[in-house]
Amino acid sequence: MSESFDLIVLGAGSGGLAAAKRAASHGARVAIVEGDRVGGTCVIRGCVPKKLLVYGSAYRHLLDDAASYGWSFENVRRDPAALLANVRAEVDRLNTLHIGLLEAAGVALIRGWGRFCGPNAVEVSNAAGEVHHLTGERILIAVGGRPHRPEIPGAELGWVSDDMFLLESLPDSVVVVGAGFIACEFACILNGLGVKVTQLVRGDHLLRGFDREASKAVEEAMEAEGIDIRFAHSPAAITGSTPGDLFVSTQSGESLDCGGVLLATGRRPFLKGLNLEAAGVAIEGHRIPVDGDQTTNVPNIFAVGDVTDRICLTPVAVEEGRAFADTVYGDKPRRVDHALVASAVFSQPELSGVGLTEEEAIERCGADGIRVHRARFRPMSQALPARGPRVLLKLIVATASGKVLGAHMVGEHAAEIIQMAAIAIGMGATKADFDCTMALHPSVAEEFVTMAN
């Protein structure tokens, strides 16, 4: 079977879906190729199911605090299997929803794995052995990334993040390997669901790239909740059987027994099988480099999202896909501004930030060129239980101009609050602008506008 399109999109994840639907809305004839489930990492095995697991695991804290608010419960039991099954059911619903949205947008969904046969040609093979030959005036690569397993003996015995959403039950103990947001989020999820967690961290701190003071606050809270974080520890090998009894040997000579190992050691662009050389698409290390218009070295081939390995976040991929479609098919040329992107870690407590971290601001402006305003206190929600981590709020301000360069928070609803702060910072707000904004009391967020000089 052979068909021709204005645009062929490889990958039905966040960036690919956004680009395909937007291009179709501008009148382009679009096909989207997907060998897995429609929705991509975010919907199927990432942001959405992970956040649902975060909500589920947080009930432990709510139940612990309930008595101080006059609620008592008897015979409370946890059922992670039910939570995992319900999350999968929601993912199924969203998968079906996204398929319907493609159909409503007039985008042809081609099932199977695509590979380049030339700069304008793609061959798609599916599980039934059928082969589709597609030609397109333009081709957009939006295949995303995949978890990376470390090259150690027995690595195949461990889980990667994708596997966590397929589990039907949880073991009594898990070793989490990694220090990034995926490692920390799952360490908190598992801990909240009653699993004993040991986290192995190669370096000396968690969450590289986030504000150090904020990441330290998360670390302290995780340890207070019973997560055993071991810095300067790396796995040397995994032995045993899975699922069941596993042993993690560390490079320092320890042996840790556990029921499962999560290898949260980063992600890489998913270039396998694309046959990029047939189209002449250049790669740089593990990524496809593009210019500000998402164009590769081949003028009619473009790439968006995690496959470019710039800022690997769902909203960034979505915006890149839409900007591409608006520029090429909508006669509305625009580029994505990657300079100010808010990010969050859905750990417990939650961390979120936008703009420069304190370390980045010092590097850029010098220690005398910035002022750091901070507030750290026990939130009102924890006043009666008198437990739990204190929240942290920070503003990084340029000394000369008073402009707010960054805002960071650790605590409940941090991501929701920072999303709003991002608007002000993006508009160039100063500390004086924050100061003259009326506080909304009693709230945690009001501290951002009441911090004393």
Domain match, 131 and 278 both: yes
- The residue from 243, 265, 287 where one domain ends is 265
* DSSP tag of 293: T
Residue 335 counted as domain residue: no
Please give the chain's pLDDT, 453 residues, in tens. Answer: 689 999 999 999 999 999 999 999 999 999 999 999 999 999 999 999 999 999 999 999 999 999 999 999 888 899 999 999 999 999 999 999 999 999 999 999 999 999 999 999 999 999 888 999 999 999 999 999 999 999 999 999 999 999 999 999 999 999 999 999 999 999 999 999 999 999 999 999 999 999 999 999 999 999 999 999 999 999 999 999 866 789 999 999 999 999 999 999 999 999 999 999 999 999 999 999 999 999 999 999 999 999 999 999 999 999 999 999 999 999 999 999 999 999 999 999 999 999 999 999 999 999 999 999 999 999 999 999 998 899 999 999 999 999 999 999 999 999 999 999 999 999 999 999 999 999 999 999 999 999 986
Domain match, 171 and 228 both: yes
Domain match, 39 and 92 both: yes
Residue 128 counted as domain residue: yes
Instruction: Identify any residues that bridge with 398 across adjacent strands, giving them in sequence order.
Output: 370
Residue 338 counted as domain residue: no
* Catalytic one of 286, 338, 413, 441: 441
Residue 340 counted as domain residue: no
- The residue from 218, 247, 265 where one domain ends is 265
Residue 290 counted as domain residue: yes
Domain match, 26 and 129 both: yes
Residue from 208, 187, 188 nearest 199 by CA: 187
Domain match, 11 and 110 both: yes
Residue 415 counted as domain residue: yes
Contacts of 341 (CB under 8 A, 6+ apart): 311, 313, 315, 316, 354
**Number of domains within the chain:** 3
Q: Give the separation between CA 123 and CA 205, rounded to whole angstroms.
A: 45
Helix H or strand E segment including 316: helix 314-329
> Where would I find the beta strands (DSSP E) of 217-342?
228-231, 235-240, 246-250, 255-258, 260-263, 267-269, 301-303
- The residue from 294, 329, 364 where one domain ends is 329
Domain match, 60 and 88 both: yes
Residue 441 a catalytic site member: yes
Domain match, 258 and 180 both: yes
SS3 content of the chain, % helix, strand, coil (to 5): 35, 25, 40
Q: Give the separation between CA 213 and CA 407, rounded to whole angstroms.
A: 12
Residue 334 counted as domain residue: no
Domain match, 24 and 137 both: yes
Domain match, 95 and 29 both: yes
List the CATH number of the domain containing 207: 3.50.50.60
Provide the whole-model pTM.
0.96
Residue 159 counted as domain residue: yes
Quick one: pLDDT at residue 357?
A: 98
Q: Give the separation between CA 125 and CA 358, rounded to whole angstroms.
A: 49
List the CATH number of the domain containing 444: 3.30.390.30
Quick one: pLDDT at residue 128?
A: 86
Domain match, 314 and 377 both: no
Domain match, 110 and 187 both: no
Domain match, 26 and 113 both: yes
CA 61 to chain centre: 24
Residue 15 structural domain: 2-147+269-329
Quick one: pLDDT at residue 453?
A: 64
DSSP string, 166-231: T-SS--SEEEEE--SHHHHHHHHHHHHTT-EEEEEESSSSSSTTS-HHHHHHHHHHHHHTT-EEEE
